[in-house]
Every structure is written in C-alpha cells, then in structure tokens.
C-alpha cells in the first residue's frame, strides 16, 4: 500500500443531494442540519475527487486524518475539554452518515479514532491519560487504533489469548491482534488483554514500545482506502500508568463497540443514500428501447424499494438517536439498527449496481466500491449473524451463542 498525496483527481463533480422522503429533517435541529451540510460539503471537496483513485490503488489517503480532525469528525459527542465536539448523538450520527456517503473506509478512520480510541480513554482512562492523549487524538496529531479481535478469536473475544503479567511497575504484554483498522499508521493502540486473574483489561500501548510491531494486511477487496493491520506484542513492557484502572471484563470493549456500532447504523445509511442517488440519476439519463430505463416497471420496483428501505432506516436511526441522547439506547437496540441498516445498504448497493448495467462495475460510479466496502461493514463490529443472536437472546432470554 502506498500512502499520502499525489493521486489522480477525478474530473467528475459529485452531484449528490440528500434524500428525505418522509421529511425527517423536520425532526432534526438546526445544529444537526448544519453538521450534515458541512460534512457533505467537506466530502464533496476532499473525498469524492480522490476516493476512486485511492480505492483503486488500495492506498490510504492519510492526509485526510488532519482534515477529519479540522472538520470535527473525531469524537463529536465527547466533551470539548477533552478534544471532542460537545455535540449530541444525532449530530454524531449524521456526521458518520455523510462520511460513509463518501466512503466506508473514511468513516472507519473516524469511527475508530473517535469511538474506539478516544471514547475508552475518556470513559475509562485516568485524568492523566485523558490529558496526555485526548487533545492530540482530537486534533489529528495522533492516530489511534483499537485491538480486540485476534487471529483465533473474532466473534468470541472473551476467549482472547493476549495477556498481561504483573512485573512491578509494569505489565508484560504478549499476544497478537488481527484486522486492526489504522494499526500500521497508529501512534498508539488501545489494547484489550487478559490479566493473571483472567479479567479483560484495557491499556494504551505506544507505537515505539519495544517488542511492539504492526504489520499491514494486504489483499483486501473491501475498505481499500482504509489501512488494516495486525498488532504483535512480544514481551512489551506496559507501565501500569497506561492501564485503565477500573474497568474489568468484556463490558469495557463492548461499551466502545456500542458507541461505534451506533455510528455505523447511521453511516450505512450514507452508503445506501449514495447508491440510491446514483441509481436514480442514472435511471433517468440512460435510454434503452427509446425511453429512460427509470420508466420501466422493473427499475421502478428497485428504486421504490430502495427509498422505502432507506426511509425505514432513517426513522429507526432517528429514534435510536433520541434514545441515545437520553442515555437509554440499549446495546441490543443498537445491534438491531447496525444489522438492519448495513444489510439494507448492501442490498441497495447490489440493486443499484444492476441499474447501472455494465457501467456499475466501473469506478465511474460509486456503487461497486460501496458494495465491496459494505461486505466489511456487515462483518466487523459484530457480524450480521452475531447481531441476530443478540436480538434473539434479548427477546427470548436464552443464549444461542454457545
């Protein structure tokens, strides 16, 4: 993977405009609408002109980290004194939606930084850890990553093998993490590992710690503009001051995941909206059998079902946002929205791809890129099926995981 600038700019202008069939905008505040417009404007000027080229080359547009920080996309709902934006959960949602409208990989850069790195440090870190890391993560001076998944433990993180052993003022960390977004670029990693009592503990590991490396994972057909890697720990000495003091067990990482999954539920709508927007426009421009293909019933069925599903997802997300603002959104409710919305977006991407005919498989249009990206989104942050099991367990009270 190559990094940095120097890519080719697309000459096509991004003509996207928001779709709001049920006037859900009436339920949003001025602040939400302004946040949405600002991020949309940013995506149009910074992401759309370059994204096809970066995705094509499987290169990460690392210069966008600073841009994401400047626009305020890292931890928008964290307090301003700790580098966040002081906004509410719906504002956070619409920001993720607009970023993913651009590309799921760009949204992932922001999700990881804000929800999986800044959030746990804010929530579980000591005052010293917060002061040391949060402002620099918020302004993009530091890039962070989140290490939970392991080669042998994906859907079942509680089985993790990565561990820490007490050694006076520090712990000795051993193990490895897999599929870690941003890891090869990261200045620091929030790592989850088991202590000698078998409790999962969280800690901040800095890049230049001895014995720590973060090799890149190559060959992804999805999230190609986002960099993914491993985390390898060989007797890494982690000072005790780097460990989150209180939190023990899976609830630590899971609370971060709830925050990120919430953002993904909104983000996926952005990808769906972009596919629908492109398909609708294409269907009115493309003429076959002497009429626009949008005039055929089979195309209309696809478009009508797309906007129906998008509208349902918008209402679901809005309601989830209201609950989240009141501190009442349950992890199971968030699971339902993540699962529904990502699957909805993937289905729409596939249908939109068909409407574009052969053109749909090229990077002239964003749909195939979204479709490939969404395969990751369907799997990470809890797979589609795992979220189903969460809902199943929530409604029956019976655990079907094991």
Ligand X SMILES: Cc1cc2nc3c(=O)[nH]c(=O)nc-3n(C[C@H](O)[C@H](O)[C@H](O)COP(=O)(O)OP(=O)(O)OC[C@H]3O[C@@H](n4cnc5c(N)ncnc54)[C@H](O)[C@@H]3O)c2cc1C
85 binds another protein (CB under 8 A): yes
229 sits near another protein (criterion: CB under 8 A)? no
- Toward another protein, which CB reaches closer, 107 or 201? 107
Among 27, 58, 63, 86, binds another protein (CB under 8 A): 86
Under the binding rule (CB under 6 A), the answer on residue 365 touching ligand X is no
Site for ligand X in 176-195 (CB under 6 A): 179-181
Which of 17, 158, 288, 330 is the binder for another protein (CB under 8 A)? 17
When CB distances are held under 5 to 8 angstroms depending on the partner's kind, the choice from ligand X, another protein, none that residue 112 binds is ligand X
Q: Applying CB under 8 A, does 72 fall inside the site for another protein?
A: yes
Q: How far apart are CA 214 and CA 234, in angstroms?
A: 12
Q: Could you give the CA distance from residue 231 to residue 145 in angstroms, rounded to a whole number?
A: 10
**Backbone phi and psi for residue 296, each to the nearest 5 degrees, phi listed first:** -85, 140
Q: Does 50 bind ligand X (CB under 6 A)?
A: no
Say which residues have a Cβ less than 8 Å from residue 128's Cβ, sequence separation at least 6: 241
Q: Which residues between 55 and 114 bind ligand X (CB under 6 A)? A: 112
Q: Which ranges of 330-383 does DSSP label H, i.e. alpha helix?
A: 331-355, 367-379
Residue 305, C-beta contacts closer than 8 angstroms, at least 6 positions apart: 351
Residue span binding ligand X (CB under 6 A) among the ranges 147-155, 262-270, 279-287, 289-297: 147-155
CB of 384 to ligand X, least distance (A): 7
The closest alpha carbon to 64, from 17, 105, 118, belongs to 105
Interacting positions 194-253 with ligand X (CB under 6 A): 223, 228
91 binds another protein (CB under 8 A): yes
- The single residue among 114, 125, 147, 202 that binds ligand X, judged by CB under 6 A, is 147
Q: Is 309 a catalytic residue?
A: no
CA dihedral 78, 84, 85, 88 (to 10 degrees): -10
Could you tell me if 36 and 98 are in contact, meaning their C-beta atoms sit under 8 angstroms apart?
yes
Candidate residues 2, 8, 15, 288; the one interacting with another protein per rule CB under 8 A: 15
- Token pair in block for residue 348: 């729409």
Considering only the stretches 84-92, 279-287, 303-311, 374-382, report the one whose residues sit in contact with ligand X under the rule CB under 6 A.
374-382
Q: Are strands 144-147 and 170-181 parallel, antiparallel or unpaired?
A: unpaired
Query: Does 1 contact ligand X by CB under 6 A?
Result: no
> Is 376 near ligand X (CB under 6 A)?
yes
Q: Which residue of 131, 198, 328, 401 would you call a contact of ligand X, by CB under 6 A?
A: 401
Binding to another protein (CB under 8 A): which residues in 42-71? 42, 45, 70-71
**Which lies closer to another protein via its Cβ, residue 42 or residue 233?**
42
The pairing of strands 188-194 and 144-147 is: parallel
DSSP-derived secondary structure letter, 358: G
| Residue 255 contacts ligand X per CB under 6 A | no
Please give the C-alpha separations between residue 310 and each of 14, 20, 86, 387, in angstroms, as whole numbers: 20, 9, 28, 20
Q: Identify the helix (H) or strand (E) that includes residue 147.
A: strand 144-147
H or E element at residue 30: helix 30-42
Q: What residues are annotated to the active site?
A: 381
């Amino acid at each position: 993977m190559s990094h940095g600038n120097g890519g080719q700019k697309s000459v096509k202008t991004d003509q996207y405009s928001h779709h709001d069939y049920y006037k859900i905008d009436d339920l949003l505040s001025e602040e939400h609408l302004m946040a949405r417009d600002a991020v949309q404007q940013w995506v149009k000027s910074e992401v759309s002109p370059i994204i096809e080229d970066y995705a094509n080359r499987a290169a990460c547009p690392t210069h966008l980290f600073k841009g994401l920080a400047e626009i305020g996309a890292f931890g928008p709902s964290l307090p301003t004194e700790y580098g966040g934006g002081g906004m509410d959960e719906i504002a956070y949602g619409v920001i993720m939606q607009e970023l993913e409208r651009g590309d799921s990989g760009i949204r992932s850069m922001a999700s990881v930084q804000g929800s999986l790195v800044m959030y746990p440090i804010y929530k579980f870190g000591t005052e010293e850890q917060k002061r040391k890391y949060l402002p620099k993560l918020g302004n993009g001076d530091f890039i962070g990553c989140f290490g939970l998944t392991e080669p042998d433990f994906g859907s079942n993180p509680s089985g993790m093998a990565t561990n820490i052993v007490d050694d006076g003022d520090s712990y000795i960390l051993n193990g490895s993490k897999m599929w870690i977004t941003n890891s090869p670029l990261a200045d620091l990693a929030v790592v989850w590992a088991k202590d000698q009592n078998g409790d999962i503990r969280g800690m901040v590991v800095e890049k230049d710690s001895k014995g720590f490396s973060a090799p890149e994972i190559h060959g992804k057909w999805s999230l190609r503009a986002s960099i993914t890697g491993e985390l390898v720990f060989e007797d890494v000495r982690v000072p005790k001051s780097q460990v989150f003091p209180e939190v023990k067990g899976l609830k630590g990482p899971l609370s971060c995941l709830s925050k990120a999954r919430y953002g993904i539920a909104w983000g996926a709508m952005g990808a769906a909206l972009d596919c629908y927007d492109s398909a609708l426009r294409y269907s009115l421009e493309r003429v076959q059998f002497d009429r626009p293909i949008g005039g055929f019933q089979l195309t209309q069925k696809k478009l009508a079902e797309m906007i129906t599903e998008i509208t349902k997802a918008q209402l679901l997300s809005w309601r989830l946002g209201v609950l989240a603002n009141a501190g009442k959104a349950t992890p199971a409710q968030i699971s339902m929205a993540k699962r529904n919305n990502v699957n909805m977006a993937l289905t729409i991407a596939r249908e939109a791809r068909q409407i574009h005919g052969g053109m749909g498989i090229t990077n002239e249009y964003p749909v195939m890129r979204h479709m490939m990206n969404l395969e990751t989104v369907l799997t990470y942050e809890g797979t589609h099926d795992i979220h189903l099991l969460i809902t199943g367990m929530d409604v029956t009270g019976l655990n079907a995981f094991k």
